[in-house]
Amino acid sequence: MNRAAAIVLVTLAALASGCGGGGLRGDLAATGDNMGKIRAGVIDFSMVVTPRAARAHNPFGWKLKGPFAFGDVPTAHVTYTQIANGHTADDTLVLDRSGGYAVVDGKRRSLTDSNLKELRGSAARVRAGASIDIGKWIKSASSCGSRCAQGDLDVAEAANTLLRISGSKSTLSDGEAKQLADATRAATYRVEWTDKHLMRNLTMHVDLGFKTPPKLAAALGRLVGATFDLHLGMQRPTT
């Protein structure tokens, strides 16, 4: 459950930088900047991978939902849902001003002083200004209605950012980036914000497909790959 809380904190940090410029890009930049200023709200965050192969088709990933608050003593009450093999399992993490606990497999477990220090340290680093420039992700931007933008993603840059969010120090090589770009059938995003440039919804969709060698086509099908869907919703944000 430490990981679940870290996902909340680092995701908010990851959106703290915008993409610069005017027009829609300026709106996206302002929305990203304001994400870094949010002190409390209700997060609804998920990432789901759906394989596309004859012998692998069940989605897998996770969902995270619940209220959080930064400050001198961060608090949260989030449900972390794991998705795998056609099944889901929910855990709960609660942080309050006096301590915290997790509910795992229906059993309540108190967080140790070390757990609390780690989680609150992550929150402090976020509030200190940790950020990732999502402007590198965006290849294009067009209007999809009032206070809404959508367009294409640079999938290699997005992958490098996700590696950083996950704590990895690795990045894709030029060859790996080209291989990923060549395998990408679609990579798109959509962002909606309020009149005060506060995030309402962010969705990303990446569709990867790989041509199957003829000798394997009978077993795997003509095309194998996967879709990746990320969603970030924010309710009742407070700055």
Average pLDDT, the chain: 79
Give me the mean pLDDT over the 122-151 stretch. Answer: 74
Q: From its phi and psi, is residue 51 left (phi > 0), alpha (psi between -120 and 50) or beta?
A: beta
Report the domain count for the chain. 1
Task: Extract the tokens encoding 47.
Answer: 């990432």
Q: Tell me: pLDDT of 135 over 70.
A: no
CB 183 within 8 A of CB 198: no
pLDDT at 2 (0 to 100): 46
128: Cβ–Cβ under 8 A, 6 or more apart, which residues?
Answer: none
C-alpha span between 152 and 101 (Å, rounded) = 41
Higher pLDDT, 76 or 168: 76
- Give the whole-number percent of the chain exceeding pLDDT 70: 76
Nearest one of 111, 107, 109, 80 to 95, comparing CA atoms? 111
Facing residues of 60 across strands? 49
Please write the tens of the pLDDT for every residue from 24-66. 888 887 887 777 677 888 989 898 989 887 677 789 998 989 9
Q: What band does 142 get if pLDDT is binned at 50, 70 and 90?
A: very high
As a whole number of angstroms, the distance between CA 127 and CA 236 comes to: 19
| pLDDT greater than 80 at residue 72 | no
Give the range of the structural domain holding residue 16, as residue numbers without chain letter.
2-238
Hey, which of 98-102, 141-145, 165-169, 174-178 has the most confident mean pLDDT? Answer: 141-145
Q: How confident is the model at residue 133 (pLDDT cuts 50, 70, 90)?
A: low
The pLDDT of residue 15: 47
- 159-185 pLDDT per residue, tens: 887 676 556 678 888 988 888 888 899
Handedness of CA 98, 93, 191, 173 (dihedral sign): positive
| High-pLDDT (> 90) share of the chain, % | 18
Ranges 11-15, 120-124, 200-204, 231-235: which has the least confidence:
11-15
Which pTM value belongs to this model? 0.79
